[in-house]
Amino acid sequence: KRGRACCVELAGRSQGCAPLGFPALMTLHAAYDEQAAQTPSAPAVVCWQPSRPGISEGTRRICLTYADLCQRSRELAVGLAEFLPPLAPGERAQDRILAVQVPRTDADFVPIILAASRIGMPFVLLSTDLPDRSLERQRAELTFRVLRPRICVTHTVAGAAAVEGVLSAVAGGSCQIISLQNLLPGALSSSTANTQNLCTAQICEVM
């Protein structure tokens, strides 16, 4: 996945034209930016996340509008760029892969994917919700052994520790591990957009 909107491109090929008015070839973040320009206040991502321990109980709803989503991804892209190491001899920019260990139910999941697209960095998703933790670790080890990501973004500090354990088992390559808190300390606020009476076609992602 090298920053291209694969679903848009493939759908355009299958129908013989580009869907939704987008060009057949468009970077992933450009497609979202285009939509944000058209409907900036429309809900793009809606999710429910646990409240912080000791502050409140239950879950809180987080809604990102298209404008919020694109701005968040730009901020994450700036943070990622600051952590990018210099190119090694013979290494190309597109050879530097980003590993993403962020749950698909997290509000920052889509923004971090768009951030990778903004800096032209291929990415690979690490499983975070498999019932079989042993299998989850095996898949992570295979990913690091074969693809050798240069940076891994994790959901929490605990997630970073788990990745460090995987890297020790692989015993090879260098990967910088960054938690989202360190990449972009600002926390997402609870939902402010009106998401009542929405149909799924009006929302980009519901998690």
Q: What is the mean pLDDT of each run of 10 residues along the chain (207 residues)?
A: 34 38 74 93 82 49 89 92 83 86 88 93 88 86 88 83 80 78 60 42 47
Q: Which long-range contacts (CB under 8 A, 24 or more apart) does 180-187 make?
A: 180/102, 180/108, 180/112, 180/153, 180/154, 180/155, 180/156, 181/156, 181/157, 183/76, 183/79, 183/80, 183/83, 183/153, 184/75, 184/76, 184/79, 186/75
**Residue 186 pLDDT:** 57
Instruction: Quote the pLDDT of residue 127.
Output: 84
Report DSSP letters for 146-194, one per residue. Answer: HH--SEEEESSHHHHHHHHHHHHHH--S--EEEEHHHH--PPPPPP-S-
Q: What is the pLDDT of residue 164?
A: 83
How confident is the model at residue 66, as a pLDDT? 94
pLDDT at position 23 is 59
Q: Tell me, what's the pLDDT at 170? A: 75
Q: What pLDDT shows up at residue 9?
A: 31
Would you state the pLDDT for residue 123? 92
Instruction: Give the pLDDT of residue 21.
Output: 56
